[in-house]
A and B are shown apart, each in its own frame.
Chain A
Amino acid sequence: MQVPETVDEVLDASGLQCPLPLAKTAKALNGLAAGNVLKVIATDEGSVLDFRSWAQGSGKCELLAQEISAGSDGKKRYIHYLKRT
């Protein structure tokens, strides 16, 4: 899994708990054209495994990469890159 060089849209789902990051991601993906990449930023640790299964099941997107970084508030950020298919 490699982090894509270009991102078409960013969704900040920081602070949101299950199931809201998924619900917002679904909406954001609906607005994207095929091939476009959505970057989702979440603070929920569960989102890592969530997005793996969810992307597979949705049939609408491909999970390109996931990474973890430290936010400015000291909390971890779980970042997911999804390509609209």
Chain B
Amino acid sequence: MTAGEIAAAPAQERIDQLERRVAELESRSPQGASNKATIVVLSGDMEKVMSAYIIATGAASMGMDVTLFFTFWGLGALKKQRSLKGKSLLQSMMTLMTPAGVRSLGTSKFNFGGLGPVMFGAMMRHSNVASLEEIAAVARDLGVREVACTMTMEVMGVSKDELLPSVEFGGVGLFVGEAADSKIQLYI
């Protein structure tokens, strides 16, 4: 229905048509982006990974398609275990010195050699805030995609069998493709 056709119709019909047209225009995003959110998780700090999962959960609950793209230190959040199989000496050292999973992430401040996260965990439980592990599980349940950056996996010696089974693998092409079509793009 064009504006010219609407102008020629009787009043009530014109109102109905205009309402439909407004609804249709409102459903379109001004940037032409889809209802998607794409978040880079570069940090492996507990509170930053937690905010990424909280935003992802909020966006997914609103019906958005959410992709979390994990790279560099963020990869530690996707681990289910450590494995040194087939790794070089440096890669093995890196594996042993970096966290293996959301439960062993450190905080960016007050880490105190790992005591900080224990303190944060106790304070979060006291305030009845869900743990990072629980929030990540809710995010997955709502369909949030977790993608591991294969280039940084290679550099840091992260093998596929160390990561959670739900993890997908991709590179900058996937990120840019998704981000260009997203209403929300964040870098954490």
Contacts and interface: CB of A to CB of B under 8 A. Distances in A.
A17 B129 contact: yes
Contacts, number: 44
Contacts of A57: 62
Interface in A1-45: 15-20, 22-23, 25-27
Interface in A38-85: 54, 57-60
Contact of B130 (A17, A27, A54, A60): A17
B62 A58 contact: yes
B180 to A, nearest CB: 21
B138 interface: yes
Contact of B63 (A18, A20, A23, A60): A60
Nearest to A53: B62
Classify chain B: how many residues form its interface, as a range: 10 to 19
Interface stretch (B12-20, B53-61, B108-116): B53-61
Chain A CB within 10 Å — which of B57, B127, B141 has the most?
Answer: B57
Residue from the set B60, B62, B142 with the largest chain A CB neighbour count within 10 Å: B62
Contacts of A20: 130, 135, 138
A19 B52 CA distance: 12
Contacts of A27: 142
B128 interface: yes
Nearest to B138: A23
A17 B128 contact: yes
A15 B128 contact: yes
B58 A19 contact: yes
A23 B61 CA distance: 5
A74 B181 CA distance: 47
Given A26-B61, A57-B62, 11 more contacts: A17-B130, A18-B54, A19-B54, A20-B135, A22-B62, A23-B141, A23-B142, A54-B58, A54-B61, A58-B61, A60-B63
Interface of A: 15-20, 22-23, 25-27, 54, 57-60
Interface of B: 54, 57-58, 60-63, 127-130, 135, 138, 141-142
Report, nearest first, the 9 A-B pairs whose CB atoms are least far apart. Answer: A26-B61, A19-B57, A22-B61, A17-B129, A58-B62, A19-B58, A23-B61, A57-B62, A23-B138
8 contacts: A15-B128, A17-B127, A18-B54, A20-B138, A22-B58, A26-B61, A54-B58, A60-B63
